């Protein structure tokens, strides 16, 4: 039996949806989406990270949302990987 990792879950989502937000991933019990995305990028996946800042009307404050998009399926890592 194969246990699905957080990286497997994120890749599956990104392959089937145009993009996913960090908040959506946290709702799936992925505590640190940015760390998992960083490891996937190090493995050679081309994942774009977009930060959108929204101003709250009348509140004078803003909030940010992080969106991840899989640009291409895979590229060769820059550095050799250890297994």
Q: Where are the domains of the chain?
A: 6-72
Over 90: is that where the pLDDT of 5 sits?
yes
Beta bridge partners of 52: 65
Over 70: is that where the pLDDT of 78 sits?
no
pLDDT of the residue at 76: 62
Q: Is the Cβ–Cβ distance between 46 and 72 less than 8 Å?
A: yes
pLDDT of the residue at 52: 93
- SS3 state of residue 22: helix
Residue position matching structure tokens 């640190």:
32
What phi and psi, each to the nearest 5 degrees, are found at residue 54? Answer: -115, 130
Q: Which residue has the higher pLDDT, 62 or 73?
A: 62
Whole-structure pTM value: 0.76
> What burial class does residue 5 get, using C-beta atoms within 10 Å of its C-beta: 0-12 exposed, 13-18 middle, 19+ buried?
exposed
Q: Which pLDDT tens digit goes with each residue over 29-71?
A: 999 999 999 999 999 899 999 999 988 777 678 889 999 999 8
């Amino acid at each position: 039996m194969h246990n699905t990792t957080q990286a497997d879950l994120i890749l599956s989502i990104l392959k089937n949806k145009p993009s996913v937000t960090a908040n959506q991933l946290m709702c799936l019990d992925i505590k640190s989406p940015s760390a998992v995305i960083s490891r996937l990028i190090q493995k050679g996946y081309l994942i774009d990270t977009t930060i959108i800042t929204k101003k709250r009307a009348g509140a004078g404050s803003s909030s940010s949302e992080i969106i991840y998009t899989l640009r291409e399926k895979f590229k060769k890592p820059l550095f050799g990987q250890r297994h």
